[in-house]
Amino acid sequence: MEHFTLNNGTKIPLVGLGTFQMNPDEAEYAVVTALKKGYSLIDTANAYMNEKAVGRGMKKSGIEREHIYLSTKLWPSVYAGAAQAIDETLRRLDTDYIDLLFLHQPVGDYISAYKSMEEAVRNGKVKSLGLSNFSEEQIRKLVEKTEIKPAVVQVEAHPYYPETELREFLNQYGTVIMAWFPLGHGDPALLEEHMIAEMAEKYGKSIAQIILRWHTQMGNIVIPGSKNETHIAENMDLFDFTLTEAELQEISDLNKNLRYYVATEEMLQGYLAFAPDFESQP
């Protein structure tokens, strides 16, 4: 597995397992399967309601904690008590530290929450910090008022929405993109693009593998989610071929400025009000 070196000197795998929309049983199985197949990056979140299952999967895999890269996210409803929320997140995951901790949504007092995350870094509870679904303006505001620059920004990114401008903006901070919906939310139009299919045939890979390789060569970390053992294995089998510069550009030129998820202000306020009992998860 190839790695990026983040702006704080730590290393992160280019490919990981996303656990969004997995119930606890599915998440536990996927984590065990992925780790045994050579993954080390596992991504979850308070709001996925599967952190306890992810923790069980890590233990059940038999892989030592130091060889696992764990990322999770604080939900807006806990921003006001972020210090306590971090401790509770650690307990749910049954671990002493989190490799990468994100703010999940840009709503509420996220500056104060981020400062609590900075304190967790100083206390050794967290290694690196990140932001999820933040815009350039929101990132700039946060960086101006905090000390530790975010190492990773997690956003929707795929050939139909490549986030080129955001990537260029983040270069000044040494911050990298982690792409969710890296395959365009499974959009058949993207997964049936003739030009990508021709590349897949040329390299003896699937269309999904071509798209994921495009991401990693463009500088993105990817966290495709899968509960299928074959797909989990295929999603990390990306590093025995290299797309040409022309091929990378061809895929980038598919940009349609098409996002599958757009958070309105009303949605964000709903996130802030949504306060599930994270401890109730099995």
Catalytic residues: 48
Q: In what order do the strands lie in the sheet with 16-18?
A: 16-18, 41-43, 69-74, 98-103, 126-132, 152-156, 176-180, 220-222
Residue 112: CB atoms within 10 A of its CB come to: 14
Inter-residue long-range contacts of 189-192, CB under 8 Å, 24+ positions, other chains counted: 190/158, 190/159, 190/160, 190/254
Please state, in angstroms and rounded to a whole number, the distance separating the CA atoms of residues 72 and 54: 10
> What is the Cα–Cα distance from 272 to 109, expressed in whole angstroms?
10
* CA dihedral of 174, 126, 263, 159, whole degrees rounded to 10: 50
Q: Provide the token pair at 84.
A: 């306590």
How many whole angstroms from its chain centre is CA 63? 21
